[in-house]
Structure formats: structure tokens, C-alpha cells
Structure 1
């Protein structure tokens, strides 16, 4: 299968999950992540604001705030397909951008250099056993991860995990994969 076929078939599977099953999986994913040493040891967490079929990150953001962690989210620059992370403390510091995504408003937030992000929660749709991922096709995270010095993790349902995905030379794997069953991949 091509990356696009894998992306579409996995999105279909995720969209077909009923609300009760989805809630249960999200609770398991959140528990597995927040009880992990990579979460516990992180002072600053980089994370996207989820929407649609993505696993809910809002509860993770609120939990991080409750634990006194700094939370930062990406601000994408479509012209260069790059992104910068900005710390935010309330959802009022976010703005609606293209595709109705929520991103930090740079005039209301503080820029966080990549080296200051202890743990980056990387979104994705399909993952393989080595941590390679298929995202939304823009390449933003692969560009950002070049030289990223700290820990990366993705949360995913076991249905999003396959043996191997087609890779490009610029693809960068995620170091840790967490499913509803626990930590699957541990590098670094």
C-alpha cells in the first residue's frame, strides 16, 4: 500500500470507532503516557491541539498544567512547511488558523526553542514497529525533528501500528510509541 492508501484506510478505522470504545482507548493512552518516566521527567511538553479523529490531547494539556509543566504547541508556517513552538497557559492564547486548527498566537505566547522542549508528543496516523510514521503529509514534523535533541513519543491505538511503512530518506522515527497496552518502543 502507498502512504496515502495507508493514511486513508487508518483514518476510516479510527472514524468507525464508537464513542465508548474511543473514550476507553483515550483513557488507556493517557494513563500509559502520564505514568511513563519520559512524561514524569519532562518539565516542558510540546504537543498539538487535537481535532477530529485524532486522540484527544486536551486532557493531557490540562494534566500537564496541573502538574506545573510548561506546555507549548506548534505554530506552522505553510510557506516554508516549518513550525515553531510557543508556550501557552490558557486556550485564550490560541487562534484558529487554516483547516480550523488551533495554534498559539505569537503575540500572546512565548517562543520555546527546540532544545528546551523535554518531551515532544508527535502526532501521526500510521506507525511501524521502528517508530516511523505517516502523518498528514506536510512533512512539518520531519523537518522539525532534524536535530531535535530530546525525547519524542506518539500515542496510538494498536490498529494504527503496522509492521513496516514506506519510508523516504528524510523521514525521522519517533523514539517511543505508546498504545493502549503500554510502551512499545523505547530508544535513546
Structure 2
């Protein structure tokens, strides 16, 4: 079976799993993930953090983003442009700045967005459909994050995932960007054993 077919099958399976999660489970799990991140030295020491505005079924990071803004961090989120598969990082100072974009997905108001250079980002919190312990990530299939992360090679990369999204192996292609950590409601997985984080 071709790698693209395997990814497509896995993506469908994961979407079905997401649909079984009640709003209460998503809300509680999101709070737990945000707590994990708030106590994590990698997040605490990052001055510029790229989060995301969750789609239905994804872990919500709103509480974390609000905390980061209040703590004086520079916070940015994805801004999808007119070119399919390409996104920018837009700085936000208040979640009230976001609007409903394509397909109802929340995003910064394009008419007011302040684009942040990807080379300034310290940590990218990355959503996904499935992850494995080696840091492989299955996205939505359009390659937005893979293209973006190439432009931010200095940024540390953490996948944000439900524990039920962890699988034994995510199909991998040469253009796929590995995560260095995966954060779930249960634990923080160090995927890159060469990377030992020491608090500074």
C-alpha cells in the first residue's frame, strides 16, 4: 500500500475517534494539557511562542495563550493566506482579535494581522491528527506546518495530542518535519533523545 493511502486511512480512523469525544472530555483534557505546558521548562523559558486556535476535536490552548500573553510572552498563531498550503505566523495580544475564517476555523483578522518573522519563534506548539513516539506527525494533509517549520529551523517543536492519537508508527515521508516532543494529557514525550533540556 502506498504511503499516501496509509496516511489517508489513519487520518479517517483518527477523525472518527475525535468524533466520539464529548465536549466535556475535550474541555477537561484541554485544561490538563495546558497545565502540563504551563509547568514545562521549555514553555516557561520560551519568549516567543506559536500556538494555534483549535478546530473542533483538537486540544484547545486558549487558556495557555491567554496566560502567555499576560506573562509578557510574544504569542502568535497561524494565519492562512490565499495560497493553499502556505501559512504565516500572526502575533496576537488578545483572543478577541480572532475572527471566523474559512470553514469557520478561527484565525487572526487578516486586515489587522501583524506578521511575525518565523526566525523569531522559540517554540511551536503543533496540532496534528496522529503522532508516534519518534516524533512523526500526521497532519490534515495540506502540508501547512511542514512548509512553515522549514522557515523556523531554530524553533523547538512540540506536537499537541490526545493520548488516544498516539499510534505505534505514523507513515513518514522525506518532507515531513519531526516533532522533538509530543505533549498529551498524560505525559510529555521526548522524541529526540539527543535533545536534553536543562533549565537555564
TM-score for the superposition, normalised by structure 2? 0.86
Residues in 2 aligned to 1:150 and 1:126: alpha-carbon distance in whole angstroms? 21
The answer as to whether partners of 1:3 and 1:134 remain within 8 angstroms in 2 is yes
Deviations for 1:115-172, whole angstroms, at most 9, x for unmatched residues? 1111111110100111111111110001111152111112212211111111111001
**Where does residue 180 of structure 2 map in the other structure?**
175
Q: Superposition RMSD on alpha carbons, in Å?
A: 1.8
The answer as to whether partners of 2:179 and 2:191 remain within 8 angstroms in 1 is no
Residues in 2 aligned to 1:21 and 1:92: alpha-carbon distance in whole angstroms? 25
Change (3 A) 1:107 1:29: same
The answer as to whether partners of 1:75 and 1:103 remain within 8 angstroms in 2 is yes
2:57 alignment partner, SS class: coil
Flag as ranges the 4+ runs of structure 1 deviating above 6 A: none
Deviates more, 1:21-30 or 1:138-147: 21-30
**Where does residue 102 of structure 2 map in the other structure?**
98
**Where does residue 116 of structure 1 map in the other structure?**
120
Matched, 1:25 2:29: yes
Q: Which consecutive residues of structure 1, in runs of 5 or more, have no partner in the other structure?
A: none
The number of residue pairs the alignment matches comes to 188
Q: Which consecutive residues of structure 2, in runs of 5 or more, have no partner in the other structure?
A: 196-200
Residues in 2 aligned to 1:125 and 1:52: alpha-carbon distance in whole angstroms? 12
Q: More strand per residue: 1 or 2? A: 1
Q: Give the counterpart of 1:134 among 120, 128, 138.
A: 138
TM-score for the superposition, normalised by structure 1? 0.91
2:17 alignment partner, SS class: helix
**Where does residue 8 of structure 1 map in the other structure?**
12
